Structure 1
Amino acid sequence: MNITSGMKVRFHPIIGGKHDGNLYEVRCTGKLYGRDFAWLGSKTDPVDIRSRPCLCH
């Protein structure tokens, strides 16, 4: 599934394995060091797109 700007997603960290229950809006997506990343609403650091198991419509 492709992640695009404006989608609402849940951030699910690889370490710890539990999401915080919040929905985040995808600000933008891009490549960083050859991997797909997304920048989420209130998160300051980009997140690896592979770390997201749950999309919310």
Structure 2
Amino acid sequence: MEQNHELYEVWMKNSIMTGKIVELHQQLKAFADLKKLAEQYRNEFKELMKKDKDTPR
């Protein structure tokens, strides 16, 4: 009976850890997506600034 209880505790800890890993993976993906979007915006901004600099006044 004690062995079943220990097995259950290990299974519960594993489930919790797996859930945390999945959550962290999702956060990492979201961060990577935001980083990619920021890079895209930065490049667009640079192009706009370049065009503005080349525009006669």
User: Could you say which structure has the larger radius of gyration?
Assistant: 2
**Normalized against structure 2, the TM-score is what?**
0.15
Q: Which one has the bigger strand percentage?
A: 1
**Normalized against structure 1, the TM-score is what?**
0.15
Q: Which one has the bigger helix percentage?
A: 2
